[in-house]
Amino acid sequence: MPGCLGNNRGVKRAACLILVVFVALCVGSVATAHDPIILTDDQTVPEAGPFLPDGTISFALYGSFAKAGETRGLRARFAEGDRLHVSLLIPDRAPENALLDGELPRLEILEPNGESTTHVPDLRRKFAEPFTGTNYIELIDLVGRASEGVYSITVIGGRAARFTVSVGDTETFGTPVEGVTDRAAGIGGVMEWYEGDSFAGDVTSGPASTTDVNEGPVDPVQDSAVASGQTTSDESTRSGRQIVVVVLVALSFGVWRISRMIRGRSTRSSTH
């Protein structure tokens, strides 16, 4: 009898440990993600785009340009002294990862006091999003303190390309947002945007001189190198997602098996 109780305690500890690991993996994945929003082609100015009611909440807005000079807009409200964090990224895929400096998108931010600033890319920093298994190149990363009011953010395209604007740091999902056509698009919408190839081949290869603060100058990119690198990136992305799924399934099975063992031993103990 004592031996059975001791074994049950050990089994319960193991079950608790597996549950903790399972929850940590799930929460850890979500904690690194932004709440996704898909920008539409008609949201060319901030007034026509999404309105984020709290600019400190973490959002990622995904859009694309069909040609140079196109714009997409959004607005975000901040309180006085809020942390202001806005980033501009492109997918680490062809053709975006072969864009020249002059072909990269840029940001224009209109502050509540009426002051407007244009920000051009000064980074080429690789960034992996573990929640979706997608890969990006960060071009602009702005951090500061906000003034009270609404900030208008405009992305200006330098070439046909996809882009992502991230706003805020606080991970909260499902916040109501005005001006969003399909709020339920979610991860499926992001993956459709990421895997789209409507811009493939619409880039002239050549040297990209913008330097990465971590990795140094970006080497010249040739079409064949882009294709090879893209294949490797896609394979890594798929492998990463598959590993996460396998681990979560294995942990779920382990929890189920241990719970069955606990019930079985409890039943046997009650009969003695």
| 127-162 pLDDT tens trace | 898 877 899 999 999 999 999 999 999 999 999 999
pLDDT at 219: 36
The count of other CB atoms within 10 Å of the CB of residue 6 is: 10
Residues 181, 169: Cα–Cα separation, whole Å: 23
Determine contact, residues 72/50, Cβ cutoff 8 Å: no
Q: What is the pLDDT of residue 198?
A: 47
At residue 127, the pLDDT reads 87
The CA distance from 246 to 173, in Å, is 25
Nearest to 140 by CA among 127, 130, 131, 152: 127
The whole-number pLDDT of residue 187 equals 83
Please give the pLDDT value at position 267: 58
What pLDDT sits at residue 101?
A: 96
What is the pLDDT at residue 231?
A: 41
Tell me how crowded residue 31 is: count the other CB atoms within 10 A of its CB.
12
Hunting for tokens 């990463």 — which residue is that? 240
**For residue 9, what pLDDT is reported?**
57
Q: What is the pLDDT of residue 181?
A: 80
> Could you read off the pLDDT of 81-90 as tens digits, one per residue?
999 999 999 9
- Burial string for 78-97 (b: 16+ CB within 10 Å, else e) reads beeebebbbbbbbbbbbbbb
| Model-wide pTM > 0.85 | no
pLDDT along the chain (272 residues), means of 10: 50 51 40 74 97 96 96 98 98 96 98 98 92 91 98 98 96 85 80 73 42 37 36 44 48 62 62 56
